[in-house]
């Protein structure tokens, strides 16, 4: 697999919360940090995602917003 994204992080799926249309997928990285992604339920199914399975978090963004109160 070759991608143009510069940030490809391998981890383990620790939690999947299925919603009406989308699912919340939590991936734990080595060292314990966690990333959460919202993807469609059909993507969860077609990728065969399950808790305990290894997966990649692929991040490609030109902007990251930060806010405070």
Q: How far is CA 49 from CA 23, 55, 63, in A?
A: 11, 8, 28
- Percent of the chain with pLDDT strictly greater than 90: 72
- Report the C-alpha gap between 11 and 13 in whole angstroms: 7
Tokens at 41, concatenated: 């339920």
Q: Which CATH architecture describes the domain 7-59? A: Beta Barrel (2.40)
pLDDT digits (tens, 9 = 90+) for 30-51: 999 999 999 999 999 999 999 9
Q: What is the mean pLDDT of residues 47-59?
A: 96
Using one digit for the tens of pLDDT, what is the confidence trace for 13-24?
A: 999 999 999 999
Residue bearing tokens 């981890």: 11
């Amino acid at each position: 697999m070759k991608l143009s994204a510069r940030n490809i992080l391998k981890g383990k799926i620790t939690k999947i919360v299925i919603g009406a249309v989308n699912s919340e997928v939590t991936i734990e990285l080595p060292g314990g940090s966690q990333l959460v992604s919202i993807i469609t339920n059909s993507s969860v199914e077609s990728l065969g995602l399950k808790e305990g399975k290894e997966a990649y978090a692929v991040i490609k963004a030109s902007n990251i917003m930060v806010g405070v109160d």
